[in-house]
Amino acid sequence: MTGIDDLPIRDELRGQSPYGAPQLDVPVRLNTNENPYPLPEALVARIAERVAEAARNLNRYPDRDAVELRTGLAAYLTRTAGHRVGVEQVWAANGSNEIIQQLLQTFGGPGRTAIGFDPSYSMHALISRGTGTGWLAGPRDADFTVDTATAARAIARHAPDVVFICSPNNPTGTAVAADTVRALYDAAQAAKPSMVIVDEAYGEFSHRPSLLPLIEGRPNLVVTRTMSKAFGAAGLRVGYLAADPAVVDAVQLVRLPYHLSSVTQATALAALEHTDTLLGYVQQLKAERDRLVAELGAIGYEVTESDANFAQFGRFADSHSAWQAFLDHGVLVRDNGVPGRLRVTAGTPAENDAFLDAARTVRKEQHVEAPSTEESA
Ligand SMILES: *Cc1c(COP(=O)(O)O)cnc(C)c1O
């Protein structure tokens, strides 16, 4: 039988593993930061209408520039992210992962490097590798925040072409202050200049305002967003960026023609019509996230402060065995490879109750280190 290693694959892909959060059939699935609420019926009906309209034109290629969708996304950002954004500053693709891929194809690539502050979103490193961009793992503090001076020094030393700042950060939940982003942007411009990508996939769940206004006067700053989390539409595959119009022009050089299907554009437009209902779910999820953080702390776990729709907790002597213990209790959480920690997504109140019941039992079954004072919730 032929294996991967028998194929003439690129050297840097040899021995690597693909992205692979387990998709297991378990009663309570809180492992991939999905929104637990199915789309409301009125929206489902509207999607059917708009997709039927799109279907009548499926013999034609879609709008290559997705102008109507980008206009809707720009209006959404203008209304919710504290900064006026025009259609020429917004670009959309199949998930923010494709946005990140297009950015790395444009600004990274062979002979270039990207830096992120670990632990962070594993796809930043994986898409870097896939685009031939060298990956540098930058530092994060013991409380999982990014220290401005340490991070700026790493940027000055390595002079990367692309800097990833994930805020709120996955898998830790920690947000990055606007002052830190300003300082790291300045450090990146002094060192190279390089592109700074702020991944705000969880922006809507944060206690803090969006970092989007920072794109003003910073032509090399990009903010990426997604409809996968706040809009409850992970299955849709729509992500987007906001930046200087020149960045939107630049990614045209690498995007595949007609990359965003007519069906996808129609569905996303229908979802945008229901923004207020969907943001109502976000409010409920933020309250549930705060409840998870508080109750996990009360049970005796160390919980990392969270601005996202999930919480990181521990510290387990063996996080894989703790992950398995949750699974044995019918709850799928995520082991992101952060030593001693697991991550749980905020689900419905009933799912969170089931998780917390399991968490009480697992606390007795597993060896859990007592919280250190400054990090406990
Ligand atoms: C979930 C997530 C994304 C979203 O990816 P999509 O391709 O838009 O589904 C992007 N960045 C981070 C940090 C995420 O956790």
Residue type, 149: A
pLDDT band of residue 65 (cuts 50, 70, 90) is very high
- What pLDDT score does 234 carry? 94
Encode pLDDT of 67-78 as tens digits: 999 999 999 999
Quote the ligand 1 centre to 97 CA distance (angstroms). 6
- What pLDDT score does 114 carry? 98
Q: Which residue, among 360, 302, 359, has the nearest Cα to 331 in the 3D structure?
A: 359
Whether the pLDDT of residue 376 is over 60: the answer is no
pLDDT band of residue 41 (cuts 50, 70, 90) is very high
Quote the ligand 1 centre to 346 CA distance (angstroms). 16
- What pLDDT score does 373 carry? 56
- Residue 254 makes CB contacts below 8 A (sequence gap 6+) with 102, 105, 106
Ligand 1 probe mutation, 122, 228, 306, 336, most atoms within 8 A of CB: 228
Nearest CA to ligand 1 atom 1: 201
Quote the ligand 1 centre to 207 CA distance (angstroms). 19
Residues 238-253 have a mean pLDDT of 98
Ligand 1 probe mutation, 99, 117, 121, 127, most atoms within 8 A of CB: 121
The DSSP code for 339 is T
Q: Residue 336, by phi and psi: left (phi above 0), alpha (psi -120 to 50) or beta? A: alpha
Average pLDDT of the chain is: 95
| CB 303 within 8 Å of CB 311 | yes
- What pLDDT score does 13 carry? 85
- Name the 3-class secondary structure at 53: helix
Encode pLDDT of 94-114 as tens digits: 999 999 999 999 999 999 999
Query: DSSP H helical segments within the chain, as ranges?
Result: 41-55, 67-80, 95-107, 122-130, 148-158, 178-191, 245-251, 262-273, 275-299, 319-328, 349-365
Quote the ligand 1 centre to 136 CA distance (angstroms). 20
- Name the 3-class secondary structure at 367: coil
In whole angstroms, what is the distance from residue 193 CA to residue 190 CA? 6
In whole angstroms, what is the distance from residue 130 CA to residue 104 CA? 9
Whether the pLDDT of residue 375 is over 70: the answer is no
The DSSP code for 13 is G
| CB 343 within 8 Å of CB 29 | no
| CB 329 within 8 Å of CB 373 | no
Pocket, ligand 1, Cβ cutoff 6 A:
33, 95-97, 121, 166, 170, 199, 201, 226, 228-229, 234, 239
Ligand 1, atom nearest to 237 Cα: 9
Residues 177-204 have a mean pLDDT of 97
pLDDT band of residue 3 (cuts 50, 70, 90) is confident
- What pLDDT score does 23 carry? 80
pLDDT band of residue 15 (cuts 50, 70, 90) is confident
- What pLDDT score does 5 carry? 87
Ligand 1 probe mutation, 170, 306, 343, most atoms within 8 A of CB: 170
Residues 272-289 have a mean pLDDT of 97
Burial category of 142 from C-beta neighbours within 10 Å (exposed 0-12, middle 13-18, buried 19 and up): exposed
- What pLDDT score does 335 carry? 95
Quote the ligand 1 centre to 96 CA distance (angstroms). 6
Q: What is the model's pTM?
A: 0.95
Residues 341-369 have a mean pLDDT of 96
Catalogue all structural domains in the chain, each as residue range(s) with its CATH number: 22-39+276-365 (3.90.1150.10), 41-273 (3.40.640.10)
pLDDT over 70 percentage in the chain: 98
Whether the pLDDT of residue 188 is over 60: the answer is yes
